Chain A
Amino acid sequence: GQQLNQSPQSMFIQEGEDVSMNCTSSSIFNTWLWYKQDPGEGPVLLIALYKAGELTSNGRLTAQFGITRKDSFLNISASIPSDVGIYFCAGQLKKAAGNKLTFGGGTRVLVKP
């Protein structure tokens, strides 16, 4: 079954705010990935992390690979309306065959009314 716990499940953002979400696992992963999914489309890769402790940025996005290899977080700085969507973390277990990824349940990012 699903092994990644992603939190929060949903959040509201106001333009200009920084937001943060994280992903935890009971298993050790050797690769962490963060995807964004817009309505009606497939997930798009945002950031990939390959080493424990690694901190990687992609524009306003920053993600870190936890030192224990069991967690990762994603930060979005100065959010804008197009940041709305569902963000998924995914991990690859050590020695997993066939490029198999395990996905978290997603964090739904919505705009504050």
Chain B
Amino acid sequence: NAGVTQTPKFQVLKTGQSMTLQCAQDMNHEYMSWYRQDPGMGLRLIHYSVGAGITDQGEVPNGYNVSRSTTEDFPLRLLSAAPSQTSVYFCASSRGGQVYEQYFGPGTRLTVT
């Protein structure tokens, strides 16, 4: 049981490049979320999904796309990377109806030059 896994762990992009951050969980959790973490800002919600085929925007969705074709996977796509997207990205999952038990992945540290 691996929990929440994220790849890659580190990534450097040039401005304008696109890429996908991968997130997978093996706990059969309905809810999955993407957060970004910036110094002094805590974690801010980018997008979330309440189940396969359903996604919605969080607090800071601009510049990011998500899809949820399976229960296990919730990839985050950067369409055209910008330096403002330099951050650490965390994926989290939780069982349906239980907001408090959010399990976080180890994070992806992204630098956009």
Our verdict on whether A and B bind, yes or no, reads yes
B interface SS class? strand
1/0 per residue A99-113: CB within 8 Å of B?
111011110000000
A31 to B98, CA, bound (A): 11
State how many angstroms separate the Cβ of A62 from the closest Cβ of chain B: 17
A42 to B90, CA, bound (A): 7
Residue of A9, A44, A101, A105 near B45 (CB, 8 A) is A101
Residue of B42, B58, B101 near A105 (CB, 8 A) is B42
B111 at the interface (CB under 8 A from A): no
With A40-B106, A98-B48, A99-B94 already in contact, the answer to whether A4 and B42 are too (CB < 8 A) is: yes
CB–CB A42/B4 < 8 A: yes
CB–CB B50/A98 < 8 A: yes
State how many angstroms separate the Cβ of B75 from the closest Cβ of chain A: 17
A67 at the interface (CB under 8 A from B): no
Q: Quick one: which of B84-102 are within 8 Å of A by CB? A: 90, 92, 94, 99-102
A58 at the interface (CB under 8 A from B): no
Residue of A nearest to B9 (CB): A40
CB–CB A43/B90 < 8 A: yes
Q: Which residues of A contact B105 (CB under 8 A)?
A: 42
A100 to B99, CA, bound (A): 8
Residue of B nearest to A32 (CB): B100
CB–CB A99/B99 < 8 A: yes
Most chain A CB inside 10 Å of its own CB: which residue of B42, B56, B90: B42
Contact-size category for A: 20 to 34
State how many angstroms separate the Cβ of B73 from the closest Cβ of chain A: 17
CB–CB B100/A103 < 8 A: no
Q: Which residues of B contact A2 (CB under 8 A)?
A: 41-42, 44
State how many angstroms separate the Cβ of B67 from the closest Cβ of chain A: 15
Q: Quick one: which of A29-68 are within 8 Å of B by CB? A: 31, 33, 40-45, 48, 50
A-B contact pairs, 23 of them (CB 8 A): A1-B59, A2-B41, A6-B42, A31-B99, A31-B100, A33-B100, A40-B106, A41-B106, A42-B105, A42-B107, A43-B43, A45-B100, A45-B101, A45-B102, A48-B101, A88-B42, A88-B43, A92-B99, A92-B100, A97-B56, A98-B50, A99-B33, A103-B44
